[in-house]
Structures are given as structure tokens and as C-alpha cells.
Amino acid sequence: MELVTRLWKEDSVTFEGDHFHYQAARIEPKPAQKNIPFWIGGSSKPAIRRTAKFGTGWQAGQETADELPPVLDAIKTALVDAGRSIDPDHYGAGFHFRFGNWQDADLPKRTAAFEKRTGRDAKKHFAVGEAEDILKRIEGYASVGISKFILRPIGLTDSDLLAQTERLVAEVIPEATKFDVEV
């Protein structure tokens, strides 16, 4: 991460890391944007340290809204220790959603695989139902300081995914603004 962020800004970079060694490395053309957003995910101690050292934003992984306050506190403490800050509106979360019910699409198969892989309850991580159900999930995250969202539709076909996304745009995004968030 240090190498990448330095290459974006410096004309020539010499880098001696644990795994990479470069003499006078460079990239051209340089990014047009001077300060490229660099969002980092994860809630492990190393991920929190990386976020504090390099991040301009943070993206939650599989954490529920209830699990986030200690992670957010740890990031903010690490930022103070590093002498850095992240804009308060640069904390994000994501989840899968489906307008419909828990038997639609391939949800039984998908949720079983999720639970087997993560050991987590899919009903706490997927938003399934109507717009109100998705908005309730967004509200929970917003209440602990999350303001950016990546919502992933669940569907079996391209047309199904498109229909899910169109409903999200029509029914959820306009209502989500009341939580002062971006979806």
C-alpha cells in the first residue's frame, strides 16, 4: 500500500519492503486526481492499522451494524495515533438484498453456503423483503456512523438482477436520503 500510494504521487520511488524491493520505480502517466480515494476493508488489527496508515475511507466486511462500534472506535483511535483522519462520511458497509422472500431465486442455497463459509446467520447479513426491510438495514448501519453503502442484488439472471436494481433505485435510494447516506 505504501508503494502504490507513493507511486501515485512521486516521480521516482525506491522501496525496500518485506516482500518487494524497487529502485527508482515509476508510473506514467500519474493519476489526474491528486488525492485518489483509497478505501480499505477489514476489521482485523492489521486491517485497522493499514486503514489508519493509508486509508481515506473504510469499508466493513461481513460485520452487522451491532458489531461495528468497537471496530470504528479502534480505527478512530489508530488514526489519532497515526496523526491522520478519515472524513466522517467515509465509512462504508455493504450487504446483499432481494425484493421478495427467503425462498426466491437461489436464496436457500446461497444463504446455506454463506452460513457454512462464515459461521454467521444469513438473516442478519442479507436484507430480504420489501423496501422497508432494506431501509431498516441501512438505518441500522447509519445509526452507528456508516454513510456509504454497496448494495448487491441477488438474482438468477441478468434481467432479474436488473429488476432488483431498478426497484432499489426507485424504492430505496430516494428514501435512504433521510439517513444522510449514499447508496
| Burial annotation 40-69 (CB, 10 A radius, 16+ → b, else e) | bbbbeeebbbbbbbebbbbbbeebbbeebe
Taking the CA atoms of 111, 112, 113 and 118 in sequence, report the sign of the dihedral they define.
positive
Type and span of the H or E element at 3: helix 2-9
**pLDDT at residue 20 in the model:** 87
Domain ranges of the chain: 1-36, 37-183
CATH 3.20.20.30 for domain 37-183, yes or no, is yes
Contact assessment for residue 6 and residue 13, using Cβ atoms and an 8 Å cutoff: yes
At which residue does the C-alpha cell 469499508 appear? Answer: 59
Q: pLDDT category, 34, cuts 50, 70, 90?
A: confident
Distance between CA atoms of 3 and 120, rounded to whole angstroms?
Answer: 35
116-167 residue pLDDT tens: 999 999 999 999 999 999 999 999 999 999 999 999 999 999 999 999 999 9
Contact assessment for residue 74 and residue 46, using Cβ atoms and an 8 Å cutoff: no
Distance between CA atoms of 27 and 106, rounded to whole angstroms?
Answer: 44
Distance between CA atoms of 44 and 110, rounded to whole angstroms?
Answer: 25
Q: pLDDT category, 35, cuts 50, 70, 90?
A: confident
Distance between CA atoms of 32 and 11, rounded to whole angstroms?
Answer: 14
Amino acid at 25: A
Tell me what percent of the residues of the chain surpass a pLDDT of 90. 89
83-101 residue pLDDT tens: 999 999 999 999 999 999 9
Q: How far is CA 98 from the centre of its chain?
A: 18
**pLDDT at residue 138 in the model:** 97
Q: Tell me how long the chain is.
A: 183
- What global pTM score does this model have? 0.88
